[in-house]
Chain A
Amino acid sequence: MGALFIRDIRLGLRAGGGVLIGILFFLAVITVVPFGVGPDLKLLARIGAAMLWIGALLATLLGLDRLFQADRDDGSLDLLIMASERHMLALTVLIKCLAHWTVSVLPLVVASPLLGLFMNMEPAAIGATTLTLLVGTPAITLIGAVGAAVAVSLPRGGLLVSVIILPLTVPVLIFGVSASYGAVEDPAPFLAPFLILAAITLFFAVLGPLAAAAALKSSAD
């Protein structure tokens, strides 16, 4: 499993700058916002956390179809499925998700404080948003694994994955943004939505790989 993790990270880092494109997309989305809503710094500070979350969500969705596609193309996915008697397939999927998250989503989280500065956010808000992104984005990847596995056999699955996954990620977005706001605005609590966000991530860490494994098995034969 450790070997698989390292292999996936290496492939992800090497394969055509996928990491860089994800960050660039995130940057582009955030840059477009002030053009859309106007350069009012107060307004930007208020919607900054939400914009960072939406940008990260879209950038995460963008890379999801690569989760199983490359492995399917070179046949190693079939090998992984055949090895499911020795290693539980759900565990393999979980490892792949973690590797994918480390390579293509963790850089987004790291980049988010800088983009938060662009949005004129307070330091506390930047910290809270980065923390919620760190805890919440694994849930998006894990939910996305279900969509990627379901659509793996389709030639143009990328757009479909985003369409079917986006409704399911709504709770993550709600609690992520409300926790980020809770850190700065006084009456709203920070801890309660943050804990719910963590619970969502843990919940999908179980459900997502199981469902994705079932979908991969049925698509293999």
Chain B
Amino acid sequence: MSETVSKTARWIDWANPTRFMTFAAAFLPWLGGLTTLVLAVGFWMSMQAPDDYQQGATVKIMFIHVPFAWLSMMCYTIMTLAALGTLVWRHPLADVSAKAAAPIGAVFTALALVTGSLWGKPMWGTWWVWDARLTSVFVLFLMYLGIIALTRAIDDPAKSAKATAILTLVGFINIPIIKFSVDWWNTLHQPASVLRMGGSTIDPSLLWPLLVMAIGFTLLFFTLHMQAMRNEIWRRRVVAMRRVAARSAERRTVQ
């Protein structure tokens, strides 16, 4: 019983934006430093990694392409969890989190598409094919843009939060389709080769840099996300302060 109480208490603590801000202020420099360190190590390992016997040096695009693609899906999953937080628990930070995550996710998706296209040109001989995974990731990109457009279109944060949350939840159907598109349809894009039953099909010399880069970019995502959440809270405070100032100015002129 006491455990549930303390858990609830902690949960509510997190709902307090001020507490989040103190935590973020203390935590962000460390997270940023760690991100830089891991990314630097990842870049160094990528440089040291041997060329593929078939693909040559272009295999190194994988070290950024795969993390971007992972993050594009992870970011949407986080937004879905935040949407649940908005609708079910009415957590005040959840909609800040969803709003802050959407542009970051859109950028990562765009980067995944661009790097994939750059990799596809020498390997497949074309910049773009309408294959199941490419198409579904492109649809994901469009959905990010739609969500951003909807968020910006509604002025009232509380209303836009709910509307966006509902749209995000409905759009989550796309994530399993992306994940399993390479298994369901026979596509040009290769099937999952890192995380799969029976071990990875990638050689350890290429797998380790990839994993380090993935961790590095995930940390980068969380750094950017936390920073963006902080900006959003500040922005809302500025808006609130401006309203208070405007109201008091009005009162002064009336008197």
Interface residues of A (CB under 8 A from B): 143, 146-147, 149-151, 153-154, 157, 160, 163-164, 166-168, 170-171, 207-208, 211, 214-215, 218-219
Contact = CB atoms under 8 A, between A and B. Distances in A.
Contacts, number: 65
B149 A160 contact: yes
Given A160-B149, A164-B150, A167-B139, A219 B163 contact: yes
Given A167-B142, A167-B146, A218-B163, A154 B154 contact: yes
18 contacts: A150-B163, A151-B150, A153-B159, A163-B146, A163-B149, A164-B143, A164-B167, A167-B139, A167-B142, A167-B143, A167-B146, A208-B170, A215-B162, A218-B159, A218-B162, A218-B163, A219-B162, A219-B163
B166 interface: yes
Interface in B137-165: 139-140, 142-143, 145-147, 149-150, 153-154, 159, 162-164
B75 to A, nearest CB: 16
B120 interface: no
B49 interface: no
A217 to B, nearest CB: 9
B153 A168 contact: no
B146 A164 contact: yes
A178 B47 CA distance: 45
A109 to B, nearest CB: 25
A182 B100 CA distance: 44
A50 to B, nearest CB: 13
A199 B116 CA distance: 33
A165 B111 CA distance: 24
B169 interface: yes
B171 interface: yes
Contacts of A166: 142
Q: Would you list the 3 A-B pairs with minimal beta carbon distance, nearest first? A: A164-B146, A218-B162, A167-B142
Nearest to B156: A153
A208 B149 CA distance: 20
B59 interface: no
Nearest to A166: B142
A171 B132 CA distance: 11
A151 B147 CA distance: 11
Contacts of B167: 146-147, 150, 164
B66 interface: no
A3 B135 CA distance: 43
B171 A150 contact: no
A167 B149 CA distance: 14
B153 A211 contact: no
Contacts of A154: 153-154
A214 B166 contact: yes
B162 A153 contact: no
Contacts of A160: 149-150, 153
Given A211-B170, A214-B87, A164 B147 contact: yes
B19 to A, nearest CB: 27
A122 B143 CA distance: 36
Contacts of B154: 153-154
Contact of A167 (B150, B169, B171): B171
B217 to A, nearest CB: 25
Nearest to B143: A167
A211 B166 contact: yes
Contacts of B162: 214-215, 218-219
Nearest to B162: A218
B90 to A, nearest CB: 11
A164 B154 CA distance: 14
Nearest to B146: A164
A195 to B, nearest CB: 15
Interface string B160-192: 001110110111011001000000000000000
A210 to B, nearest CB: 9
A118 B200 CA distance: 54
Contact of B166 (A146, A163, A168): A146
A151 B153 contact: yes
Nearest to B136: A170
B155 to A, nearest CB: 10
Given A160-B153, A167-B139, 17 more contacts: A143-B170, A147-B167, A150-B150, A160-B149, A164-B143, A164-B149, A167-B140, A167-B143, A167-B146, A167-B171, A167-B174, A168-B171, A208-B170, A211-B166, A211-B169, A215-B163, A219-B159
